[in-house]
Structure 1
Amino acid sequence: MRRFVYCKVVLTTSLVWVLVDVFLLLYFSECNKCDERKDRSLLPALRDFLRAKLEDYVRTLEVPVKILRMEQRSGLIRARLRGAAITTGQVITFLDAHCECTVGWLEPLLAHIREDRRAVVCPIIDVISDETFEYMAGSDMTYGGFNWKLNFRWYPVPQREMDRRKGDRTLPVRTPTMAGGLFSIDKTYFEEIGSYDPGMDIWGGENLEMSFRIWQCGGSLEIITCSHVGHVFRKATPYSFPGGTGQVINKNNRRLAEVWMDEFKDFFYIISPGVMRVDYGDVSSRKALRETLKCKPFSWYLENIYPDSQIPRRYFSLGEIRNVETNQCVDNMGRKENEKVGFFNCHGMGGNQVFSYTADKEIRTDDLCLDVSRLNGPVKMLKCHHMKGNQMFEYDAEYVGKWEYDFEKHTFLHIITQSCLTISRLEDGTYGPTVEYCNNSPLQAWILHNYTRLEVARHLYFSPTDYIL
């Protein structure tokens, strides 16, 4: 174990918490087995505490605390903007209200910002049970990413990042995205890079928007492994979103996609076509901010910051894979990892029928790749791991999981089995995608919808139509 001693005088920071009846929510969490009606009878008393008595309480604290009340419910994003505006510290530290800080959590964050004012830093987030309040240490071997639907996800820290740190787990982890609830940022830098997008509502998507902006505009986003803060993770959001959760989050995600993701926003729109109906407002000021800051393209972000992204940087097609004989499409059927991929009538609505044939010769939908282990075996969806050959460990490491598409015969050749993707009877008697010896059958011919042709070495060509190559 290595022990670090930080300077007593580092930087000053102002902490910003946003809460809406948070004590009440935690109370309900602790008393979740109690009768709901009895719990509700205590609401007035608890709400009274959040008014005058709360102000009396914070006056007893050793550090000055300001309580700023919004005129109406405004959501986390706008409330944080309001709180940030009145901070006086050199650094702003944003925390969710349902957190518990450990001893020595702050000094490592401030010390790193002192070294680099453009570094935005996050603690390791420990888990506090929303039922028992049991405290469980978080892992320093995960970092932030996202999927095609722009949902934040935790993924294992890749080997390339371990190599960069030379195996020293006390060094900061460069993370492509942050969860967004807990981080510290130099106040002047926060203002320089555009703070939060004020056009976003409540919360959702703001963490990815800020993550992309930080990296693309010259900053860095890092997890400081010597800093730990506990966080109560709730199983469900205990309050409503005006207009509905989907409406709010889809609007926010559209804003970040339109401003920061360039042509790669197609992955989001095609797998979630319903978002196209959501009005995302005016983003001209955010695009102007990107121009002013001379930010890099999203392709640079994928190439240099997040090469392990679920969004492939180079791909041949994005859309439907339609069988010539049956006129049906490969469909994930809403199934999960390690389950069979299916086929269904083509509906043209994206979603479950969106697959990308990548320059790495994978057929993938989000973070799952089509994988098959033997002739006539079921085609399953396994995690895409970006490492050649180990999706199916019992096979040759150079070729496992790789497919080739014949642009004249319109067939997918599974290289390791030297067989073709087809529709046939499976071992369990059902019909579905499998691989059989290639025989020029129309059952083995496939049309790539919204085909995007890529010359991997130098050029990228687009076609707006369906065609067989």
Structure 2
Amino acid sequence: MSGLRRLFRGSGRALAFVFAASVVWLLLDMAALRLSLGDAGGRLLKEAAGRGQERAQLWRGPEPPAGSSRPDPAGLRRVPDDKQEEAKSRWKEGNFNVYLSDLIPIDRAIVDTRPAGCSEQRVHDDLPTTTIIMCFVDEVWSTLLRSIHSVLSRSPPHLIEEVILVDDFSTKKYLKEKLDKYMSRFPKVKILHLKERHGLIRARLAGAEMAKGAVLTFLDSHVECNVGWLEPLLERVRLSRAKVACPVIEVISDKDMSYMTVDNFQRGIFTWPMNFGWRQIPQEVIEKNKIKETDIIRCPVMAGGLFSIDKKYFFELGMYDPGLDVWGGENMEISFKVWMCGGEIEIVPCSRVGHIFRNDNPYSFPKDRVRTVERNLARVAEVWLDEYKELFYGHAYHLVLKNLDVGDLTQQIQLRKKLQCKSFRWYLENVYPDLEAPLVKASGLLVNIAAARCITVENTTLAFEACDVNNKNQKFNYTWLRLIRHRELCVAPAGAAGALGLRHCEDRSRSLTWLHRSLAAFQPELTDHIVSEHLQPPACLEVDPSHKALRVNACDSANPYQKWQFGNYYAD
């Protein structure tokens, strides 16, 4: 069995070596810095506004983790008063304070933000080597160099097989010959200049294809690795090749470039429709399970930009879905794939990496940005969410209206079968049980509030009878795709004169869809109504009080015979 050593930095010969190396790096960086400084109706309109909000949710980038704070505010750099306008004008170069970034040393010292017990933890002597893969397009010079130097100066050299920089067809001249010349002094740094734009996802795959290390470590190009960041990640992968290890992602301020620590006990999660976010582990859970600051945290969804994974395992999983374009949704896809196909995703508190979180991505998409991300997420939903994909489409209903083309899914579906992956229900029950994921929005008896009677299925027709909770023919589901469903039959307008009937359900047929409760924010007076999406002008499900017959009629907010209630509601 291999030996163990403490993960300890900063004493004896190691400290002298780090100091000497830092002086050398500083001199090189000062020279580099000098070089760099030389370079249809109101309702429909309201619903359209709601769909606009859905679209904005789908493609936005991840927010920084909560609880950011500066460990050393006294050392902050400031933009001089007479340079404020220049700094403001240069913001658009990277969507952060580029002027200030250029003033800061490329190998600056940052505070060791690891929990106190990390330096005493032990790691194996025979950790696997890793290839660092860093993709970029038109990255700011000083930020890119600072990212690379933080890797080289804060990583044990014997663990770095190579650093592969993947230039995704940048347009900036300084990222061509100048970058090649600067990096030529570092034998382990290799640069792959792509001949056309690949996008982040395929650029990473290009880097992975040429990697020689046993482990792939993906990093963004605007990061700063902290003290002792690498060994804890490789230790987890060494313990099990099916473990995917993520550092704690700390915050580099886009405004003043300060390095800020974040609250411990956070994990990556998602909310519908697959919006990534961070969530704090509740204090009562921490106390009940006696979780320590150095304990590994199981992570339902990784942020996606920074992680280590066994290279062979990554390829066995099929890498990223090659059908995903540019950026967006790849973190969801790899997270579901890892968990459902036998792996684990962990956040390692003793590994800390700072990251610049920007309000907007400064890089252009070859195609429309929003449509690209929407298509990627829909592709992930179709392959991995099983019956729960209805929740995705229900929360991003504009994608149903578009009839979005997600491309050929044959290879991805076959891969999932080959890997014998578990169901998404298993993922919800075992990995992310606190996600609210009801398969329908409402279910049970469908009761008319005024008549206190229920819709009933008789063979293939509809009737209106006394309510009976034991009558299976009175049980309906209101689905995320807005169908009122009884087994394989759906309630639908039938012909002229407001008739109502049953039709075989088709998930994407607009003629079968009804709005119920979803209008509360826009037209609260119709909250309890059931409004046909197909008919114009808007028509509502109604019972004739004299004949007890079901029909659709012009919506009337004051008509109690147009107000309905399901037995159970699971979502608005």
- TM class by shorter chain equals 0.5 to 0.7
Matched residue, 1:294: 420
Alpha-carbon distance between aligned partners in 1 of 2:303 and 2:561, rounded to the nearest angstrom? 45
Alpha-carbon distance between aligned partners in 2 of 1:247 and 1:295, rounded to the nearest angstrom? 29
Report matched runs for 1:194-343 at 5 Å: 194-276=318-400, 277=402, 278-312=404-438, 316=443, 317-319=478-480, 329-331=517-519, 333=521, 342=524
Alpha-carbon distance between aligned partners in 1 of 2:440 and 2:531, rounded to the nearest angstrom? 26
Q: Which has the higher contact order (CA 8 A, sep 6+)?
A: 2
Report matched runs for 1:21-40 at 5 Å: 21-23=138-140
Report matched runs for 1:34-183 at 5 Å: 47-61=172-186, 64-158=188-282, 162=286, 166-183=290-307
What whole-Å deviation, never above 9, does each CA across 1:307-332 have from its counterpart, x for those lacking one?
0113236874444699xxxx974436
Q: Which amino acid aligns with 2:426?
A: W
* Structure 1 runs not aligned, ≥5 long: 28-45, 335-340, 351-422, 425-440, 455-469
Select the structure of larger CA radius of gyration.
2
User: Among residues 19, 29, 36, which one is paired with 2:136 in the alignment?
Assistant: 19
Alpha-carbon distance between aligned partners in 2 of 1:159 and 1:444, rounded to the nearest angstrom? 47
TM-superposed deviation, 1:47: 2.4
Matched residue, 1:189: 313
TM-superposed deviation, 1:102: 0.5
Tell me whether 86-95 or 149-158 shows the greater mean CA deviation.
Answer: 149-158
Q: In 2, are the aligned partners of 1:124 and 1:223 still within 8 Å (CA)?
A: yes
Q: In 2, are the aligned partners of 1:172 and 1:223 still within 8 Å (CA)?
A: yes
Q: Which amino acid aligns with 1:259?
A: V
Q: In 1, are the aligned partners of 2:230 and 2:351 still within 8 Å (CA)?
A: yes
Q: Residues 6 and 205 from structure 1, CA distance in 2 versus in 1: closer, same or farther, beyond 3 angstroms?
A: same
Alpha-carbon distance between aligned partners in 1 of 2:516 and 2:236, rounded to the nearest angstrom? 55
Tell me whether 49-58 or 254-263 shows the greater mean CA deviation.
Answer: 49-58
TM-superposed deviation, 1:240: 2.1
Q: In 2, are the aligned partners of 1:17 and 1:95 still within 8 Å (CA)?
A: yes
Report matched runs for 1:352-391 at 5 Å: none
TM-superposed deviation, 1:207: 0.2
Matched residue, 2:473: none
Alpha-carbon distance between aligned partners in 2 of 1:164 and 1:223, rounded to the nearest angstrom? 20
Q: Which amino acid aligns with 1:279?
A: D
Q: In 2, are the aligned partners of 1:205 and 1:249 still within 8 Å (CA)?
A: yes
Alpha-carbon distance between aligned partners in 1 of 2:206 and 2:139, rounded to the nearest angstrom? 18
Q: In 1, are the aligned partners of 2:251 and 2:355 still within 8 Å (CA)?
A: yes
For the aligned residue pairs, the C-alpha RMSD in angstroms reads 3.2
Q: Which amino acid aligns with 1:446?
A: W
TM-superposed deviation, 1:26: 5.6
TM-superposed deviation, 1:11: 1.1
1:331 alignment partner, SS class: coil
1:237 alignment partner, SS class: coil
Q: Which amino acid aligns with 2:205?
A: L
Alpha-carbon distance between aligned partners in 1 of 2:274 and 2:310, rounded to the nearest angstrom? 26
Q: Which amino acid aligns with 1:282?
A: D
Alpha-carbon distance between aligned partners in 1 of 2:412 and 2:327, rounded to the nearest angstrom? 18
Q: In 2, are the aligned partners of 1:299 and 1:313 still within 8 Å (CA)?
A: no
Q: Residues 163 and 190 from structure 1, CA distance in 2 versus in 1: closer, same or farther, beyond 3 angstroms?
A: farther
1:68 alignment partner, SS class: strand
Tell me whether 313-322 or 224-233 shows the greater mean CA deviation.
Answer: 313-322
Q: Which amino acid aligns with 1:172?
A: I
Q: Which amino acid aligns with 1:136?
A: M
Q: In 2, are the aligned partners of 1:329 and 1:343 still within 8 Å (CA)?
A: no
What whole-Å deviation, never above 9, does each CA across 1:396-428 have from its counterpart, x for those lacking one?
xxxxxxxxxxxxxxxxxxxxxxxxxxx99xxxx
Return the TM-score normalized by structure 1. Answer: 0.65
Q: In 1, are the aligned partners of 2:133 and 2:216 still within 8 Å (CA)?
A: yes
Alpha-carbon distance between aligned partners in 2 of 1:328 and 1:10, rounded to the nearest angstrom? 57
What whole-Å deviation, never above 9, does each CA across 1:15-56 have from its counterpart, x for those lacking one?
0000001116969xxxxxxxxxxxxxxxxxx92221111111
TM-superposed deviation, 1:9: 3.5
Q: In 1, are the aligned partners of 2:391 and 2:439 still within 8 Å (CA)?
A: no
Q: Which amino acid aligns with 1:17?
A: M
Alpha-carbon distance between aligned partners in 1 of 2:234 and 2:364, rounded to the nearest angstrom? 35
Alpha-carbon distance between aligned partners in 1 of 2:201 and 2:417, rounded to the nearest angstrom? 23
Alpha-carbon distance between aligned partners in 2 of 1:288 and 1:97, rounded to the nearest angstrom? 34
Q: In 1, are the aligned partners of 2:198 and 2:326 still within 8 Å (CA)?
A: yes
Q: In 2, are the aligned partners of 1:81 and 1:196 still within 8 Å (CA)?
A: yes
Q: Residues 265 and 159 from structure 1, CA distance in 2 versus in 1: closer, same or farther, beyond 3 angstroms?
A: farther
TM-superposed deviation, 1:200: 0.3
Q: Which amino acid aligns with 1:15?
A: I
TM-superposed deviation, 1:144: 1.1
Alpha-carbon distance between aligned partners in 2 of 1:162 and 1:193, rounded to the nearest angstrom? 33
Q: In 2, are the aligned partners of 1:127 and 1:135 still within 8 Å (CA)?
A: yes
Q: In 2, are the aligned partners of 1:328 and 1:343 still within 8 Å (CA)?
A: no
Matched residue, 1:41: none
What whole-Å deviation, never above 9, does each CA across 1:146-181 have from its counterpart, x for those lacking one?
111111111122569647963223121001101100
Q: In 1, are the aligned partners of 2:516 and 2:531 still within 8 Å (CA)?
A: no
What whole-Å deviation, never above 9, does each CA across 1:278-308 have from its counterpart, x for those lacking one?
2110011000000001000100100111001
2:353 alignment partner, SS class: strand
Alpha-carbon distance between aligned partners in 1 of 2:284 and 2:324, rounded to the nearest angstrom? 34
Q: In 1, are the aligned partners of 2:222 and 2:355 still within 8 Å (CA)?
A: yes
Q: Residues 444 and 173 from structure 1, CA distance in 2 versus in 1: closer, same or farther, beyond 3 angstroms?
A: farther
Q: Residues 13 and 349 from structure 1, CA distance in 2 versus in 1: closer, same or farther, beyond 3 angstroms?
A: farther
Tell me whether 200-209 or 269-278 shows the greater mean CA deviation.
Answer: 269-278
Pairs aligned (count): 336
1:149 alignment partner, SS class: coil
TM-superposed deviation, 1:348: 6.2
Q: Which amino acid aligns with 2:382?
A: E
Return the TM-score normalized by structure 2. Answer: 0.54
Alpha-carbon distance between aligned partners in 2 of 1:349 and 1:74, rounded to the nearest angstrom? 40
1:22 alignment partner, SS class: coil
